[in-house]
Structure 1
Amino acid sequence: MLWHAADGRVLEGWVGGDPDGPLVAVLHGCPDTRHVAMTGDAAARAVGVRLLGVNRPGYGRSAAHDSSHGSVADDLAGVATELGHARFAVVGMSVGGGYAVATAARHPDRVTALGLVATQAPGVRTESVEELVEELAPEFLAWRETVDPGDPSDDALAARWLTMLPPGDAELVRALGPAEIAASVREALAEPDGYLRDAALLHRPWGHAPVEVRCPVLAWFGELDERSTTDAAAELLAGFDAVEVVVRPRSTHLATLVAHWPDVLTTVRDLSED
């Protein structure tokens, strides 16, 4: 689906789950897209929530833009309005956590609950986003060549991608099938703008501090997640008034969300109703 931001930019997204349920918006990781929300469609229908995923600028057909945590938050709130939802919960997956925090902070009268899944702590670099993009681009572009998202063979592209994931995550992703895997990878990596903007912002402090968040907050970490370790949880969660923390036994990065969709969605749904 396509929507338009307040300034006319195209935003690409997906809506699934229960069309009559309360809205839960998923802010995807990096490199990733609305496709991660799609993996929660059946669980969302089962627990009675409507699920939304919107590609950040530079991913898929979402127009590239000098985005920030705040601008992404406002884009998401605008899509929720277009869908007819005055209030909604947000779930930030991995790098999406910083954007989810910004959404809760900037729209306190609308965001009912904040879920952080396998989220990394804010960065500490002080350079401009543009300087960081320039620094990060050569290594990313070299890695992107090894992925080769332009490969027309779904089977070959999917096979390469699976070798780059931790075994636990690879098993979950493999179940989607080569066509879906390849579509997701192409959407995430066909152009470099989305990844590089995300990576630069990841190295900088969040645009909004945890103390600005007023809604209930939950955080899930994976015991085997090497990208967002439980050791870093204290730094990540510092500043929130109160937060419930769950550590998933034997879970790797993506599995912390995708293998536990029913629990994540049920929890944020129930908190939204309190």
Structure 2
Amino acid sequence: MQLSVDGVETFVATGGRPFEPSLPAVVLLHGAGFDHSTWALHSRWFAHHGYSVLAPDLPGHGRSQGKSLMTIAGMADWTAALLDAAGARPARLIGHSMGSLIALETAARHPDRVSGLSLIGTAATMTVGPDLLKAAEANDPSAIDMVSIWGLGLKAELGGSLAPGLWMHQGAQRVLQRCAPGVLHSDLNACNTYQNALAAAAQIKVPVTFILGERDMMTPAKAGKTLAAAMPHARTVALPAAGHMMMIEQPDELLAAIKDN
């Protein structure tokens, strides 16, 4: 569906069913350079099991208009505005990578709008290497190569797709290649400069689940556990052999982890 969020035309996937404000809401927040298609399986499961789903393309991404937002704080405020535009009840936020930081910051800045968190492939600090930042700033295709290679676990690189004939590596590259110039760099820089995760974690009062990939090279599980340690009552699930892009590498295992939050 299309929504106007802060005056910008925004595309929001709803999992194949119309958004119903009276139902419990789930918001699915994608990572740097990606879009709503990240959540193809998971959005449908929630939409067909008693939830209303909002899986937006962030500004400047996918089918959404506007310019990409420059900071995690700005994206968090935008997420609260999305909930207002949809007329949603307090929502459970499910975020991957950059989306996990957005979800965390939204819960800290707008606690009355959030009922729970699932943080996937996250870390206390999401440092981005200077070579990747430089390549992304120059719109060099090598940036897409780096994200794809580092983002997928070994099995995914060897053709471990559950759907016969599909190659996860090339699929990830195609989504990133559709980014408008500057979007990937803007997202990566927002992650790299965000330093508020531990302070935000200390403010969280809602249930939190961390889902971490044991072979994640972009946000190593050890870094995710550092953030989880700041929330004594958080639940942590580690997916064996999974890399960073758990939504496509281990979709069923990830769904089991997030639906049980």
Using structure 1 for the length normalisation, give the TM-score: 0.74
What's the % identity of the aligned pairs?
A: 22
Match of 2:13?
A: 14
Q: How does 1:6-45 map to 2 (within 5 A)?
A: 6=6, 8-16=7-15, 19=18, 20=20, 21-45=23-47
Judged with a 3 Å threshold, the aligned counterparts in structure 2 of structure 1 residues 207 and 176 are, in CA distance, closer, same or farther, namely farther
| Aligned residues of 1:89 and 1:112 also touching (Cα < 8 A) | yes
Distance 1:23 1:143 in 2: 38
Match 2:207 to one of 216, 229, 239: 216
Q: Distance in 2 between matches of 1:78 and 1:138?
A: 28
Distance in 2 (CA, whole Å) between partners of 1:236 and 1:101 is 11
Q: In structure 2, what is the equivalent of residue 237 of structure 1?
A: 228
Distance change >3 Å, CA 252–CA 194, structure 1 → 2: same
CA deviation map 1:154-199 (0-9, x unaligned): xxxxxxx79x843544534856969xx8698347633133211111
Listed as ranges, the matches of 1:227-266 within 5 Å are 227-255=218-246, 258-266=251-259
SS for the counterpart of 2:193 is coil
Structure 2 CA distance for aligned equivalents of residues 190 and 70 of structure 1: 22
Secondary structure of 1:90's aligned partner: strand
Choose 133-142 or 16-25, whichever is displaced more. Answer: 133-142
* Deviations, residues 97-136 of structure 1 (Å, cap 9, x unaligned): 11111111111112000111111332479xxxxx999845
Give, in angstroms, the shift of residue 81 of structure 1.
2.5
Aligned residues: 247
Q: Displacement, 1:215?
A: 1.3
TM-score, scaled relative to structure 2:
0.77
CA contact (8 A) 1:219 1:245 kept: yes
Which sections of structure 2, spanning at least 5 residues, go unmatched? none
Structure 1 counterpart SS, 2:160: helix
Cα distance in 1 between the residues matched to 2:160 and 2:65: 29
| Aligned equivalent of 2:188 | 199
What's 1:141 paired with? 140
Question: What is the CA deviation profile of residues 61-97 of structure 1, one whole-angstrom value per residue up to 9, with x for unaligned ones?
Answer: 3311443212212222222223231210001112211
Q: How far, CA to CA, are the matches of 1:48 and 1:261 in structure 2? A: 19
RMSD between aligned residues: 3.6
Equivalent residue, structure 2, for 1:110: 113
**Which structure exhibits the higher relative contact order, with contacts defined as CA atoms closer than 8 Å and separated by 6 or more residues?**
1
Q: Among 88, 99, 102, which residue is 2:91 paired with?
A: 88
The gaps in structure 1 that reach 5 residues or longer are: 126-130, 148-160, 269-274
Q: 1:199 aligns to what SS in structure 2? A: helix
Q: Following TM superposition, by how much is the alpha carbon of 1:246 offset from its aligned partner in structure 2, in angstroms? A: 1.1
Partner residue of 1:5?
5
Secondary structure class of the residue paired with 1:12: strand
Contact kept? 2:212, 2:221, Cα under 8 Å = yes
